[in-house]
Structure 1
Amino acid sequence: MGETERRDEETEDAQLERLLTIPEAARVLAVPESWLRERVRLRKVAHRRLGKHVRFSVSDLEAIVDGAAQHALAPRRMAHRWRQEG
């Protein structure tokens, strides 16, 4: 096998994304497996089904994290003045 053929195979391997199982994805997300299984069952998180097998891509995990983002609230302005200063 020549050097060029080896590089082509490495490029193809790099393009193939490894899919993670539920236990692997739960470890990456630092959540209990039961939490992740429940969200999959309810179809609340991005995932892939290969027959009966559930798998997660890196983009699925990123979508889960992005969907869980909590944004800071801006300070509320007082809508009404209870007393008129005067």
Structure 2
Amino acid sequence: MKQYLTVVETAEYLNTSERFVRRLVAERRVAFHRVGRHLRFAVVDLDAWLCGCRVEPIQHRRRRAVA
């Protein structure tokens, strides 16, 4: 696997659109490298960002039967 991805490759990696990736960049929500006019994304940074976006499920408590 590559160490750095382009915008197109990042969109494929995240299973999303290029537009969404560019919005993440514009809002500075994901780490990236600017090489001249080109954007590059480190796979380790994307994985860390994904882990930070994780939402844990709600644990439902069992209700006691009222006697």
TM-score normalised by length of structure 2? 0.74
Matches of 1:20 and 1:51, distance apart in 2: 15
Q: Which residue of 2 is the match for residue 50 of structure 1?
A: 35
2:61 is aligned with 1:61: no
Matches within 5 A, 1:11-26: 18-26=3-11
For the 8 Å contact 1:26–1:33, the answer to whether it is kept is yes
What is the TM-score of this pair, normalised by structure 1? 0.60
Higher relative contact order (CA 8 A, sep 6+): 2
Task: Give the number of aligned pairs.
Answer: 64
Mapped partners of 1:51, 1:74: distance in 2: 47
**1:55 CA displacement:** 0.4
Matched, 1:75 2:43: no
* CA distances 1:12-41 after superposition (whole Å, capped 9, x unpaired): xxxxx6311000011011011101110111
Alpha-carbon contact 1:46-1:63 (below 8 Å) kept: no
**Over the residues paired in the alignment, what is the CA RMSD in angstroms?**
2.3
Aligned structure 1 segments of 4 or more residues deviating by more than 4 angstroms: none
* Per-residue deviation, 1:48: 1.6
In our comparison, the structure showing a higher alpha carbon Rg is: 1
Q: Percent identity?
A: 36
> By percentage of residues, which structure has more helix?
1
